[in-house]
């Protein structure tokens, strides 16, 4: 007797029996897809982001004590440093204002500023700043909108006097 199909009309085909070959092919296809996806994900993870934050963790570790001393000296200077980002994708500007502990502008500083992309070092941007007035440095750069780490380092006579690293959002 023909079995009714879901539409209500009788079906002329009997159900296909499950054979060993069908189970084998189904299992091989399933695990083949899982293996292919895992292989692609592993390839993408290895080739798109190396995961390296520093080039030489050993050298950074050796400099740890001097970094602590520099941070304590920076805190002792009590400088007030403000950074203002402006502009859009067509062109952006950065202004850094530096005032000493007494509120007077700090003149004669050289700056190294970087906008670090959180996922790709090739998208990092160095922002050249020039002193336009005592304690005020300005620079222009081009960068697309997105999250960045703004790293500001101020130098006087070759010695680093100030370092700051903050997450910013370029809009």
Give residue-wise pLDDT tens across range 84-116.
999 988 899 999 999 998 999 999 999 999 999
List, in order, residues 6 or more apart from 146 with CB less than 8 Å away.
117, 169, 170
Tokens of 36: 């292919």
Per-residue pLDDT, 90: 84
Residue bearing the bigger pLDDT, 49 or 31 = 31
Identify the structural domains of the chain with CATH numbers, from first to last.
79-170 (2.60.40.1930)
CA 64 centroid distance within chain: 23
CB atoms within 10 A of CB 82: 10
Collapsing DSSP to helix, strand or coil, 161 comes out as: strand
Question: What number is the average pLDDT over the span 147-167?
Answer: 96
β-strands 130-133, 136-141 pairing: antiparallel
- Of residues 65, 49, 105, 58, the one with CA closest to residue 82: 105
Contacts 24+ apart (CB under 8 A), 46-50: 49/119, 49/120
CB atoms within 10 A of CB 113: 21
């Amino acid at each position: 007797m023909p079995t009714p199909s879901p539409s209500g009309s009788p079906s002329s085909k009997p159900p296909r029996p499950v054979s060993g070959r069908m189970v084998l092919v189904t299992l091989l296809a399933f695990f083949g897809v899982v293996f292919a996806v895992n292989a692609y994900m592993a390839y993408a993870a290895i080739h798109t982001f190396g995961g390296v934050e520093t080039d030489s963790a050993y050298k950074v570790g050796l400099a740890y004590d001097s970094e602590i001393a520099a941070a304590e000296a920076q805190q002792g200077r009590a400088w007030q440093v403000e950074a203002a980002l402006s502009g859009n994708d067509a062109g952006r500007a950065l202004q850094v204002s530096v005032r000493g502990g007494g509120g007077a502008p700090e003149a004669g500083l050289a700056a190294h500023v970087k906008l670090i992309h959180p996922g790709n070092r090739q998208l990092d941007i160095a922002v050249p700043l020039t002193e336009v007035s005592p304690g005020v440095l300005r620079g222009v750069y081009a960068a697309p909108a997105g999250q960045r780490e703004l790293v500001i380092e101020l130098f006087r006579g070759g010695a680093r006097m100030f370092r700051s690293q903050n997450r910013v959002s370029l809009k």
